[in-house]
Structure 1
Amino acid sequence: MSSQAPQSDPRADSAPPSFISMRQRLDYSLQLLGMPGKGLRLLGGLLLLGWLASGIYRVEPDEQGVVLRFGRWVDTTSAGLHYHYPWPVESVQLPKVTQIKQLKLANLYESGPADAADPREKQMLTGDENIVEADCAVFWRIKDAGQFLFRTNKPEEALRITAEGALREVISHTPIQASMSNRRQQVAEETRSLIQQRLDAQQAGILITQVQLQRVDPPAAVIDAFNDVQRARADQERARNEAQAYSNDILPKARGEAERIRQEAEAYRSQVVNLAQGEAKRFDSVYQTYAQAKDVTAWRLYLESMDDMLKKASKVVIDGTGKNGAGVLPLLQLQDKPKSGGKENR
């Protein structure tokens, strides 16, 4: 009976010594675990498990996950842990969606060679058929990463064209004076709303956060004449305001003075009428008394008249015979009159 020597594996003979030692250690470990001859299967299972685990990905709070299947966009995921089919079936892009970016139309107008730039590109027609040059800054961020990357070709270029068209449209129905002064904020807000509406219609995946209207001026060739017109309008407005202020000051005073005169006249009329009515009633009363007792009434009227006259006299002449003098003198209330010109009245 003859014994046959074991044949060596030719692949093991050609393998490097480090690989052979590693394989021997792996075979020894598998024999200890009771799994001899299953090294390749275990290695293949580990590789398969690692390949499947590579489909796990994490989306940060400031990101959105864009899942591509064989290069085609199939899903958009929010922040958190997610899973997709491992490469090469699917892949993930993680663009930042909270970063605010800025687009300045003024820089775009001025870009390019100086000789090729046309200054009329910045000119816009206002609602009252004037020409202005308007610049604005558009602040935006990504709203939907999938739409931003795959729905629109060159989304930033589309944003520039859309912003320029929206600004021109808003300026076209706004008077020049309003767009340069009191309605600047309203023009910026209308432009932002119009840009957002058109981007949503295009599914651009862009959110406009703010539009700042930086400059609205007449063209440089006519700015001096325009400033003269504005100064003339300002002078006109100032003169109108001064006239209005003078009117507001004078008219109330004139109305008050007229009302005072009217009230004084009314009071004087009432006073005169009342006095006249009182005199008329007194005369009627005296006449009624006279009709009943003529002699007594006539004598009483005579005495009252004489009493009124004697009150104003400084000296009284009395009958020298003294008749009835004793009865008259005690009743007289004579007062000395002041001297006139240093001489006594005689």
Structure 2
Amino acid sequence: MSNGPWQPRGQGPRNPNPWGGGPAGGGHGGREPPDLEEILRRSQDRLRRVIPGGGGEGGGIGRLGAIGIAFLGLLAIAGWLLTGFYTVRPNEIGIERVFGRFAALTAPGLNWNWPYPVGRIDKPTIAVQTIEVGLRSDARGRGGVRDVREESLMLTGDENIVDVDFAVLWLVDARRPQDFVFNLREPAGTVKAVAESAMREVIGRREIQPILTGARLEIEREVQELMQKTLNGYGAGIIIQQVQMQKVDPPNEVINAFRDVQAARADQERMQNEAQTYANRMIPEARGEASRIIQRAEAERERMIADARGEAARFNSVLDEYSKAPDVTRQRLYLETIERIYGGMDKVIIDQGRQNGAQGVVPFLPLNEMIRPRAGTTEPGRR
């Protein structure tokens, strides 16, 4: 009877088939299982040949084998640790992970982190990138541009349709690159979706006329601010550097009608400018004429007030004299009035006291023209 597979050497014959059965036939279809003792022995022989000055059999071989295995393990660990060195380029930022969690940010240069699978390195590029919305440039650099109308057609606030092509310049935020790595799965697709949504919102709040003419800079600024606010809410770690509107036109189907409308509006503005110029010329003239009329009226008013005050003063002075000598004053007023009435006309005096057909007409007055003064004589009425 055999002593089994673990029988020491030199203590009887050893069964070449430790699992039972003869070398041919048996319960395993003629296949012998591996001899573990033989495998160990051959391994020790190889190790003895590799290590110079190896000892004899038994415990010496086992100790040497353990030392060799430990040495190989240390070499493997050292090689594994050496794979943890990595280089960060000047336009990159290193993001170290340990067991999948964010550990630290590293500057450009040579750095070290735990190798895979314990650690991992992400190196996002800090460079300006461009996202096009509404158009696609030729990737081969031939200068061709393909219009993507499902992205560029937008509805304005006055229910018109406008074709807007624009580009967005963005880059990774160097202060929070870990947000860019951990919070975004498809950065370019996210930026494009946010850009299209922001532009549609801004265009939807405006009428088409300012969009086609002079509101481009303001629209670009509003879209940039809205995109940055949205991405900050996502924690995307992205900076929107600029929004550039490249083409803003009506749809091709109605562009001719829009051009006619634009021409009519240009004529309207021209006529309004001409009317405003005429008004600017006529209004100051009218205001000047009105001012002159007002000044003349005020001067006439002052003159009439002054005359009235003079007449009142003269009347008061006459009244004072009249109160002192009523008869004399009354006679004087009568004579002055007669003089003022008859002073500038021809006069005929009829003497009603004559009788018997005598002529009672004094044909000519005033007497100062009928009686001319002689030299050396005194004029009538003067003494």
Per the shorter chain, which TM-score range?
A: 0.5 to 0.7
Unpaired runs of 5+ residues, structure 2, are 1-43, 54-66, 140-145, 344-367
Relative distance call for 1:298 and 1:128 in structure 2 (3 A) is same
SS class of match (1:182): coil
SS class of match (1:127): coil
**Residue-by-residue CA offset, 1:154-192 (whole Å, 9 max, x unaligned):** 321222222222222221222111222232122212222
1:65 is matched with which residue? 94
Relative distance call for 1:277 and 1:296 in structure 2 (3 A) is closer
Pairing partner for 2:251 from 219, 227, 232: 219
Structure 1 residue 212: Cα displacement: 1.1
**Residue-by-residue CA offset, 1:185-227 (whole Å, 9 max, x unaligned):** 2221222233233333444432211111121110111111111
SS class of match (2:159): coil
For structure 1, which segment, 233-242 or 223-232, has the greater mean C-alpha deviation from structure 2 after superposition? 233-242
Relative distance call for 1:270 and 1:196 in structure 2 (3 A) is closer
Matched, 1:103 2:131: yes
1:337 is matched with which residue? none
Structure 1 residue 39: Cα displacement: 11
Matched, 1:85 2:117: no
Relative distance call for 1:240 and 1:91 in structure 2 (3 A) is same
Structure 1 residue 122: Cα displacement: 2.4
Superposed CA RMSD in Å reads: 4.6
| TM-score relative to the length of structure 2 | 0.59
Aligned residues: 289
SS class of match (1:95): coil
Q: Is the 8 A contact 2:220 2:243 kept in 1?
A: yes
1:268 is matched with which residue? 300
2:190 is matched with which residue? 158
Answer 1 or 2: which has greater helix percent: 1
| TM-score relative to the length of structure 1 | 0.65
Relative distance call for 1:54 and 1:264 in structure 2 (3 A) is same
**Residue-by-residue CA offset, 1:115-171 (whole Å, 9 max, x unaligned):** x98745421111110000001110011224444345333321222222222222221
Distance across 1 between alignment mates of 2:310 and 2:282? 42
Q: Is the 8 A contact 2:134 2:148 kept in 1?
A: no
Structure 1 residue 52: Cα displacement: 4.1
1:142 is matched with which residue? 172
Q: Is the 8 A contact 2:136 2:148 kept in 1?
A: no
Amino acid at match of 1:132: V
Unpaired runs of 5+ residues, structure 1, are 1-8, 25-37, 333-346
Structure 1 residue 270: Cα displacement: 2.4
SS class of match (2:96): strand
SS class of match (2:240): strand
Distance across 2 between alignment mates of 1:162 and 1:110? 23
Q: Is the 8 A contact 1:109 1:122 kept in 2?
A: no
Q: Which has the higher contact order (CA 8 A, sep 6+)?
A: 1
Q: Is the 8 A contact 1:76 1:146 kept in 2?
A: no
Identical amino acids, percent of aligned pairs = 38
